[in-house]
């Protein structure tokens, strides 16, 4: 059996055992795919004891390819919603993430400057203390570019593995301490969050109203929608005994019954203009005469087109009530630009809607197809962008985004844009999830096998214990400082604080802890809002740490 085959066999065995290890739960919490890292450490220790040396070139290839695949797939997953996190409370939460990253960065640099850790140890500690595998990859890459002593490089993986589990534990303890300091009642926090969520819910909801305002008699529906900035859509109308699919030139009459779709926030405006009829369900009443149909946009030629070009100016017998993207309903404003995979809800008779179905595509086969050429083209662009050097003021050496930052930035931009000309970069979420997990598994397996030889001797030594303590400091101090500030001065919801802080250290176990405690999605929204920015910042800051301490 060749050394290459033995190396691949060890990777497969490590991955299998690690996934099994990561699936085990303790009080509802598991370490997930990072179980592969610890399986790799054990495997590396056994291989070293048996004096078996794996093929370094194969390990190097799998580590780099795994990292690129993981990072690019992650960027493609979060890219479509990258700017959504900058709305309303998202700005404040991202400021929190910047503060947490900045404090952790300063602490790590001080640890290195004061001589408590060398550059390889500091890089590994920082990556593990914030549970950031991408930053570990970026850190190892820049250390290699700086031509660090190769005997020191495995220390990054060992420090990462040392600090990683204690980052999770210390994060949970921070949540418990903040809860104790402010005497927080979880039930009260849930109630406050749910009340605000209902008020600010961006999803479109149905409202049945009666036109009882004579000022609207004879007003065209298009003019009415323009008055309210197209924040709602009129999907059905009942006039007398007839059910009608209205178009923008349909004139309102007193006594008309309308089904409006819009966000909860505009309900008060609607109730002032018309009489709200909560007892009526016009959608159910008219379902025999009028149907609603979900149509998928699967024709690349229409990607990026605004709805007004699709709706046209003619008197149609169908109406678009809303557009669903990534599970969120959007108002069908004329300037709303469509993205590949958008679900357009059209209301009208099936025969009348058929031309729209043909126009948009609605191919379920196309929506589940994997476009390998755009996927690899995106990775190629990302790799080349990662090679572009640039300078940060105050630092003499140049810095690169590398195979972590380049593919991430490219994936974020391409997935947000959706296409370049006829090339569509849409990839089914289930495929992205599989690619992301595969890349992460390969990367962690190699890191574990490369670092396991001396890991267990280190963890039992004074040096190992001191490194664990430093890792906890990098994790807990920024979280505690920012968490207390946001609760005391900004009165932020405790669940939102915990979710945001979990996103700041990329820790799903700590997020799971608070989700199990609250039973609501407040923490998940906080996590999702800051994760993209945090990921980018961690990749950049770990490279700056390496440059400052080299």
Name the token pair of 211: 């036109």
| Structure tokens given for 176 | 């418990």
Which parts of the chain sit beneath pLDDT 70?
26-31, 81-88, 197-204, 312-316, 392-398, 508, 521
At 88 the pLDDT is 58
Q: What is the pLDDT of residue 367?
A: 83
**Three-class DSSP category at 347:** strand
Cα pseudo-dihedral 237, 238, 242, 247, rounded to 10: -20
In tens, the pLDDT along 210-256 reads 999 888 889 988 888 888 777 788 888 889 888 888 888 889 999 89
Residue 403 confidence (pLDDT): 77
* 437 closest CA partner among 153, 143, 22, 13: 22
Question: Cα(142)–Cα(443) distance, rounded to whole angstroms?
Answer: 16
Residue by residue, DSSP assigns 213-229 as: -GGGTT-BHHHHHHHTT
Give the pLDDT score at 197: 65
Q: What is the pLDDT of residue 105?
A: 96
Instruction: Give backbone dihedrals phi and psi of 263, rounded to 5 degrees, phi first.
Output: -75, 155
DSSP line for 192-254: HHHHHHHHH--S-EEEEEE---GGGTT-BHHHHHHHTTT-SEEEEEEETTEEE---TTPBP-T
Which pLDDT does position 124 carry in this prediction? 93
Distance in angstroms (rounded) separating the CA atoms of residues 510 and 516: 10
Q: Which residues pair with 330 in a beta bridge?
A: 323
Residue 103 half-sphere exposure, CB side, CA atoms within 13 Å?
Answer: 18
Of the candidates 365, 366, 360, 334, the residue with the CA atom closest to the CA atom of residue 345: 360
Q: Note the pTM of the prediction, 2 decimals.
A: 0.73
Q: What gap in Å lies between CA 259 and CA 91, rounded to an integer?
A: 34
pLDDT at 198: 61
Residues 480, 174 contacting (CB under 8 angstroms)? yes
């Amino acid at each position: 059996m060749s050394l290459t085959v033995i190396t691949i066999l060890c990777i497969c065995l490590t991955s299998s055992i690690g996934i099994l290890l990561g699936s085990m739960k303790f009080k509802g919490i598991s370490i997930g795919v990072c179980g592969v890292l610890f399986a790799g450490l054990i495997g590396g220790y056994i291989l070293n004891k048996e004096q078996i040396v794996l093929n370094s070139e194969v390990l190097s290839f799998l580590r780099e390819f795994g990292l690129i695949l993981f990072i690019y797939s992650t960027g493609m997953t979060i890219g479509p919603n990258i700017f959504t996190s900058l709305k309303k409370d998202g700005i404040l939460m991202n400021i929190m993430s910047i503060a947490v990253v900045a404090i952790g960065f300063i602490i790590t640099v001080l640890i290195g400057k004061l001589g408590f850790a060398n550059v390889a140890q500091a890089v590994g500690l920082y990556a593990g203390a914030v549970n950031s595998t991408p930053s570990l990859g970026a850190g190892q890459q820049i250390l290699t570019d700086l031509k660090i002593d190769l005997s020191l490089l495995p220390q990054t993986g060992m420090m990462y593995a040392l600090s990683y589990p204690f980052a999770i534990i210390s994060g949970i303890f921070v949540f418990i301490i903040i809860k104790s300091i402010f005497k927080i009642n979880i039930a009260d926090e849930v109630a406050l969050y749910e009340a605000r969520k209902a008020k600010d819910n961006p999803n479109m909801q149905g409202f049945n109203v009666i036109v009882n305002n004579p000022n609207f008699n004879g007003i065209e529906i298009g003019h009415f929608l323009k008055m309210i900035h197209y924040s709602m859509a009129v999907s059905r109308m009942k006039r007398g005994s007839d059910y009608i699919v209205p178009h923008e030139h349909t004139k309102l009459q007193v006594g008309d019954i309308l089904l409006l779709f819009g966000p909860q926030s505009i309900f008060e405006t609607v109730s002032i203009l018309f009489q709200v009829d909560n007892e009526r369900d016009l959608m159910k009443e008219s379902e025999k005469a009028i149907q609603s149909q979900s149509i998928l946009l699967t024709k690349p030629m229409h990607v990026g087109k605004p709805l007004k070009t699709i709706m046209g100016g003619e008197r149609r017998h169908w109406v678009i009530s809303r557009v669903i993207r990534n599970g969120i309903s959007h108002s069908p404003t004329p300037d709303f630009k469509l993205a590949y995979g958008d679900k357009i809800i059209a209301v009208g008779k099936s025969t009348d809607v058929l031309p729209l179905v043909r126009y948009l595509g609605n191919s379920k086969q196309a929506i589940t197809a994997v476009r390998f050429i755009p996927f690899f083209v995106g990775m190629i662009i990302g790799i080349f962008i990662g090679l572009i050097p640039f300078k940060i003021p105050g630092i003499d050496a140049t810095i690169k985004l590398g195979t972590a930052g380049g593919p991430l930035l490219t994936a974020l931009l391409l997935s947000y844009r959706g296409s370049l000309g006829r090339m569509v970069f849409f990839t089914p979420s289930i495929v992205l999830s599989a690619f992301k997990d595969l890349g992460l598994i390969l990367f962690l397996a190699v890191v574990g096998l490369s670092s396991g030889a001396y890991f267990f001797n280190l963890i039992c030594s004074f040096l190992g214990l001191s490194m664990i303590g430093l890792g906890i400091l990098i994790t807990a101090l920024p979280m505690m400082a920012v968490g207390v500030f946001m609760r005391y001065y900004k009165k932020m919801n405790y669940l939102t604080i915990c979710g945001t802080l979990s996103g700041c250290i990329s820790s799903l176990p700590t997020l799971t802890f608070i989700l199990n405690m609250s039973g609501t999605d407040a923490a998940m929204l906080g996590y999702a809002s800051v994760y993209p920015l945090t990921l980018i910042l961690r990749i950049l800051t770990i490279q700056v740490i390496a440059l400052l301490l080299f």
